């Protein structure tokens, strides 16, 4: 009796350790200073929506004629929510907002993988790996909502598969509506439902007996509800301020040359800049481990899991920004396979201890050398303006057009618009390829830059060192007529020696 009691005590201790250390690891990995530049623009757009009751229809903020371009405000709902966080907590405390997002995502993933694997130890380990795979992009941006919706959708589809109640699939509709109004990845929802439709149909058709026509009919009957759910989700996605036009947006974004050239997250997965970073190698290790497990348990692999894994692996191999989806899909596929294996109590004990140990290692490594994005609790690499630059640009005497690097325009808008108007911000998809590439050319072509600066009465430039080194630093006319007013080493505020008089409206 005593030996049994000791075993139960050890089992309980391992469980508590795995849960506590898992939560701590998730928090340490994700609760870091806000570093992405998109959040500034999202909060400003959310403020305008709340204050005016309308979603901006144009770019609005830049000082050039491009301000009249149509604004793809596909993330309007997330913008309103982020503005609410800003009002409630202030920009300086936004890093704490990531904690509930991370814990919710982790809890949902544990719930999904525990349901499929029937092992809490396996669920914790797989969910931690998924969170690690997503870690570099787990920052305050609308993608956080999309990740929650993805796991919720997988939960709904899996619940229908095991229970067979068609009313369960009705939950896919609110997921689709919220997703479409929060992030441009919303079409992944109907795609996932379609993969379930095809996969379950193939599985049933293959396992059925009798003539081929009867087997196909059996597969059809099983697959149709998923297919109808996918079609209904696609229709539900049109419940947004832009109607059916939004359905074309993801495809238009994929075709943007400027986005793929200028935005690091859109670089090909095997681009040198991507392969030299931590997220790439984290993805490679996790993908290799998932492939090894799938190979070992291949006799239990169903068509649905194979299709899900291959589709999201293909996405991840195409663009580095898609690592984030792959981690959670790989976790659910592996959990489904492990669910076909019977775990003895001692094996479950080992899995929980492994989850606890992995959490402890992840926690310690992240605290010492930073997470997948090189961030710690006290520091995160970013293009955010330093305190001295913020104070300098907060001077009311500084006004008018500012030539900006695209990463810096959003913070200028959030803090000082309309007193200061940037030349560009991070909404490359709305600026269009022609303007975005023209903006890059400006920094290399002295004559073109002089015409642009003089014609638009620009007296200040706010540039990253990268853009300054494209050619601006060595241009004779810039060296003669401009000077560096202030720099923090990475961002340079450059001022005209003899300011031009500002006109009533920017040209």
- Nearest-Å Rg of the Cα atoms of the chain is 26
Copy the structure tokens of residue 146.
């999309």
> Nearest CA to 301 among 347, 343, 341?
341
Q: Tell me 92's DSSP state.
A: G
Q: Is the pLDDT of residue 20 over 90?
A: yes
User: What contacts 122, CB < 8 A, 6 or more positions away?
Assistant: 113, 114, 335, 338, 343, 351
Q: Is the pLDDT of residue 253 over 80?
A: no
Express each pLDDT in 60-88 by its tens digit.
999 999 999 999 888 999 999 999 999 99
Please provide the average confidence, as pLDDT, over all residues in the chain: 93
pLDDT of residue 505: 47
Q: Residues 246, 74: contact at Cβ < 8 Å? A: yes
Task: Give the model's confidence band at 252: pLDDT under 50 very low, under 70 low, under 90 confident, else very high.
Answer: confident
> Nearest CA to 113 among 301, 331, 309, 305?
331
Express each pLDDT in 394-431 by its tens digit.
999 999 999 999 999 999 999 999 999 999 998 888 89
Strand partners, 422: 402
Q: SS3 breakdown of the chain: % helix, strand, coil, rounded to 5?
A: 70, 5, 25
pLDDT of residue 4: 60
- Residues 127-149 have a mean pLDDT of 95
CA 250 to chain centre: 14
Write b or e for each residue in 410-430: b if 16 or more Cβ atoms lie within 10 A of its Cβ, otherwise e.
bbbbbbbbeebbbbbbbbbbb
pLDDT of residue 110: 98
pLDDT of residue 6: 76
Q: Residues 119, 343: contact at Cβ < 8 Å? A: yes
pLDDT of residue 245: 85
CA 333 vs CA 293, 329, 353: distances in Å = 10, 6, 22
Task: Give the model's confidence band at 470: pLDDT under 50 very low, under 70 low, under 90 confident, else very high.
Answer: confident
Copy the structure tokens of residue 473.
């630093």
Task: Give the model's confidence band at 343: pLDDT under 50 very low, under 70 low, under 90 confident, else very high.
Answer: confident
Q: Is 463 helix (H, G, I), strand (E, B) or coil?
A: strand
Task: Give the model's confidence band at 506: pLDDT under 50 very low, under 70 low, under 90 confident, else very high.
Answer: very low
Task: Give the model's confidence band at 207: pLDDT under 50 very low, under 70 low, under 90 confident, else very high.
Answer: confident
Copy the structure tokens of residue 16.
């508590």
Write b or e for each residue in 209-247: b if 16 or more Cβ atoms lie within 10 A of its Cβ, otherwise e.
eeeeeebeebbeebbebbbebbebbbebbeebebeeebb
Please state, in angstroms and rounded to a whole number, the distance separating the CA atoms of residues 262 and 466: 12
Q: Is the pLDDT of residue 507 over 60?
A: no
Express each pLDDT in 174-199 by its tens digit.
999 999 999 999 999 999 999 999 99
Strand partners, 460: 402, 495
Please state, in angstroms and rounded to a whole number, the distance separating the CA atoms of residues 74 and 184: 6
Express each pLDDT in 274-325 by its tens digit.
999 999 999 999 999 999 999 999 999 999 999 999 999 999 999 999 999 9
Q: Tell me 115's DSSP state.
A: H
Supply the pTM of this predicted model.
Answer: 0.93
- Residues 16-22 have a mean pLDDT of 96
- Residues 15-26 have a mean pLDDT of 96
Q: What are phi and psi of 488, to 5 degrees?
A: -105, 10
Express each pLDDT in 329-341 by its tens digit.
999 999 999 998 8
Please state, in angstroms and rounded to a whole number, the distance separating the CA atoms of residues 372 and 360: 16
Copy the structure tokens of residue 309.
């894994």
Copy the structure tokens of residue 22.
């898992």
Copy the structure tokens of residue 122.
């396996």
CA 442 vs CA 427, 451, 493: distances in Å = 18, 10, 17
Q: What's the per-residue H, E or C state across 340-385?
A: CCCCCHHHHHHHHHHHHHHHHHHHHHHHHHCCCCCCCCCCCCCCCC
């Amino acid at each position: 009796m005593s030996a049994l009691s000791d075993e139960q005590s050890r089992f309980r201790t391992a469980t508590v350790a795995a849960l506590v250390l898992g939560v701590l690891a998730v928090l340490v990995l994700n609760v870091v200073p806000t570093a992405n530049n998109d959040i500034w623009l999202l909060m400003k757009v959310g403020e305008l929506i709340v204050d005016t009751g309308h979603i901006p229809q144009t770019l609005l903020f830049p000082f050039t004629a491009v301000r009249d371009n149509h604004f793809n405000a596909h993330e309007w709902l997330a913008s309103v929510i982020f503005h609410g966080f800003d009002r409630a907590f202030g920009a300086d405390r936004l890093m704490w907002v990531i904690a509930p997002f991370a814990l919710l995502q982790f809890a949902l993933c544990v719930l999904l993988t525990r349901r499929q694997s029937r092992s809490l130890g396996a669920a914790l380990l797989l969910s931690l790996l998924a969170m690690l795979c997503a870690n570099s992009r787990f920052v305050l941006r609308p993608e956080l909502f999309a990740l929650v919706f993805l796991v919720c959708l997988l939960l709904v589809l899996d619940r229908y598969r095991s229970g067979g109640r068609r009313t369960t699939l009705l939950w896919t509709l609110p997921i689709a509506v919220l997703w479409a109004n929060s992030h441009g990845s919303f079409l992944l929802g109907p795609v996932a439902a379609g993969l379930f439709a095809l996969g379950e149909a193939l599985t049933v058709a293959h396992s059925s007996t009798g003539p081929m026509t009867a087997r196909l009919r059996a597969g059809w009957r099983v697959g149709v509800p998923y297919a109808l759910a996918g079609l209904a989700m696609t229709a539900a996605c049109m419940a947004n301020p832009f109607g059916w036009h939004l359905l074309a947006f993801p495809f238009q974004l994929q075709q943007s040359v400027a986005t793929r050239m200028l935005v690091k997250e859109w670089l090909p997965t095997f681009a040198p800049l991507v392969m030299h970073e931590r997220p790439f190698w984290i993805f490679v290790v996790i993908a290799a481990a998932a492939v090894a497990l799938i190979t070992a348990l291949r006799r239990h692999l169903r068509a649905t899991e194979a299709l899900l894994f291959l589709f999201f692996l293909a996405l991840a191999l195409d663009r580095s920004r898609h690592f984030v989806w792959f981690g959670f899909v790989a976790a659910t596929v592996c959990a489904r396979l492990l669910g076909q294996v019977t775990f003895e109590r001692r094996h479950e004990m080992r899995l929980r201890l492994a989850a606890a140990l992995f959490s402890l290692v992840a926690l310690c490594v992240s605290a010492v050398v930073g997470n997948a994005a090189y961030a710690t609790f006290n520091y995160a690499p970013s293009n955010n303006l330093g305190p001295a630059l913020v104070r300098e640009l907060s001077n009311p005497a500084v006004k008018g057009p500012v030539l900006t690097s695209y990463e810096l325009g959003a913070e200028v808008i959030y803090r000082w618009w309309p007193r200061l108007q940037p030349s560009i911000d991070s909404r490359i998809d709305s600026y269009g390829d022609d303007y975005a590439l023209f903006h890059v050319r400006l920094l290399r072509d002295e004559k073109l830059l002089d015409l642009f600066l003089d014609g638009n009465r620009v007296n200040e430039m706010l540039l990253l060192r990268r853009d300054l080194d494209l050619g601006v630093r060595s241009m004779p006319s810039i060296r003669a007529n401009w000077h560096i007013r202030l720099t923090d080493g990475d961002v340079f505020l450059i001022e005209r020696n003899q300011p031009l008089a500002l006109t009533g409206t920017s040209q």
